[in-house]
Amino acid sequence: MQQTLPVSPPSNKVVQLGRWLRGERLTTLNLFVTFVIICIIFASQAQYFLTLENFVNIGRTLGVVGIVSIGMTLVLITGGVDISVGSVAALSGVITSILWLQSGVPLGFATLIGLAACTLVGFINGYLIAFVRINPLITTLASFSIVRGLAFVLSNGQTNQLNDDTFKLLGRGEIVGIPISLLLMIALYVAFFALMHFTQFGRNLYAIGGSPDASRLAGIPVRRHLLIVYTLSGFLAGLAGIIIASQLASSAPRAATGLEFTVIAAVVLGGTSLSGGKGSLIGTLVGVFILRVLDNGLVQTRVSSFYQDVISGAVLLLAVGFDQIRLKLTSSLGGKP
């Protein structure tokens, strides 16, 4: 005679409350509230903050961080990390300018080769992580160093001008007043969101991060997925690098220094967990938004640029800290291991 098994935790108020408090909805709500508060503070301190022109400015700077954050989100969801993105971004600009200025390669091709090189770096990262099984932090720490060094060596430490009008369009151009880079970013977000939520591949990434063992046992080709994810990260970083070069109309080996920190901060802020298996692109987008607005606001209120790093760091720690405390305090409310 079959008995029915106990129903999943009874739907009483406490348990539901506990679940809600631990859930992502609250994180996003938190973020939204933080965002609003920050905007209010800045609006009160700087008169130009709430202007359309300023928003367009913000929109222009969103592109770079936003695009790299896509790759970083995916990487983090699989339980890894990629701290080489800044160096890779610089590399694409450097390679593009060298090929164009010194070897006479048409700018279009040069850009593509630069992108390809960055994708290759991502591929190598992915290979070392997935197949040689080197810890992602160490692998990308090493490539962070190597790629940055390469950027300097290849460019001889020089900043090169990239004064081509078509090229500058990518970073500076607008369509109906919206920066092209922003449009590109949005398009990519939509595409990747679909990937993560509607395709097997995307769900597999969550599975891999949640339990590499379960994924392996279920027959998911884990290593292949990881390889692809890091390659994507490299590609997106390279793309961002091209945009940077386009915006500055120059390539510098020093470009995008510190980008990895900003990106990781944005992604973690957005609710993606460093241990993997959890995270959303929407959250990342919000995180990117918040950090960019923060940056912009600090400039608008004429805070010394030195304080910007301090405040970014503090915001990251506070946000993640509060989230952790929330999780701890609510972990005992219903439906627990």
Partner 1 sequence: MNTMRVSGISEIMSLVIMLVIIIVFMGQASPVFMTTRNLENMLLDISTVGILAVFTTLLMIGGGLDLSIGATLALCGVVIGALQTTLGILPAAGLALVVGALVGLLNGFLVTYVGINPLITTLGMLSIARGLAFVFSDGLTIPVFDNDGTQQAAYDVFTQFGEGQVLGIATPVFVMLLLFGIGLLILQFTAYGRAMYAMGGNAQASHLAGLAVRRYRMIAYTLSGLSAGLTAVMLTSRLYAADPRAAMGIELTVITSVVLGGISLAGGKGTLIGTALGVLVLSTLLNGMKLLSTSTDAQNIAQGIVLLLAVGLDQLRTRNINWSKWLRGSRLLPGAATPSKASASSGSD
Partner 2 sequence: MNTPLLEMQHIQKSFYGVKVLDDVSIDLAAGETLALLGENGAGKSTLIKILNGDYLRDDGEVLIDGKPVHFSEPRDAEAHGIRMIYQELHYAPELSVAENLLLGRLPRRPGALGWIVDWNLTRKQAQDALALLNVQIDPMTKMRDLSVVEREIIEIVKALSRHARIIVMDEPTAALTPPEVQQLFQIIRNLRERGVGIIYISHRLDEVFQIAQRVTVLRDGKHVGTRAIADVTHKALVHMMVGREIEERTQVRQELAAVQTGAPVLEVRNLSKRGAFEDISLKVAAGEIVGLFGLLGAGHNNLTQAIFGIERAERGTIYINGNAVEVRSPRDGKRAGIGFVPLDRKINGLVLGMSVRKNITLSNWRVLAPMGVFWHGQEMQHTRHWVDQLGIRMAGGIETHTRYLSGGNQQKVVLSRWLEANVRVLLLNEPTWGVDVGARSDIYDQLEALAAQGLAILMVSSDIDEVLTVSHRILTIYKGRLTGEFMQAQATQEKLLQAAAGGGA
Binding residues for partner 1, per CB under 8 A?
79-81, 128-129, 132-139, 141-146, 148-150, 152-153, 157, 210-214, 261, 264-265, 268, 274-276, 304, 306-314, 316-317, 320-321, 324-325, 327-328, 331, 337
Enumerate residues 6+ apart whose C-beta is below 8 A from 7. none
Beta bridge partners of 179: 174
Pick the closer one to partner 2 by CB: 24 or 309. 24
Q: What is the DSSP letter of 336?
A: -
Enumerate residues 6+ apart whose C-beta is below 8 A from 26. 20, 326
Least distance to partner 2, CB of residue 335, Å = 5
Least distance to partner 1, CB of residue 231, Å = 18
Pick the closer one to partner 2 by CB: 213 or 309. 213
Of 57, 158, 211, 257, the residue at the interface with partner 2 (CB under 8 A) is: 211
Burial of 83 (0-12, 13-18, 19+ CB in 10 A): buried
DSSP of 107-150: HHHHHHHHHHHHHHHHHHHHHHHHTS---HHHHHHHHHHHHHHH
Q: Does 278 bind partner 2 (CB under 8 A)?
A: yes
137 binds, among partner 2, partner 1, none (CB under 5 to 8 A by kind): partner 1
150 binds, among partner 2, partner 1, none (CB under 5 to 8 A by kind): partner 1
Q: What is the DSSP letter of 178?
A: E
CA 222 to chain centroid: 22
Least distance to partner 2, CB of residue 89, Å = 30
Q: Does 12 bind partner 2 (CB under 8 A)?
A: no
Nearest to 51 by CA among 297, 294, 286: 297
Interacting residue ranges for partner 2, rule: CB under 8 A: 1-9, 19, 197-200, 203-204, 206-207, 209-211, 213-220, 277-278, 332, 334-335, 337
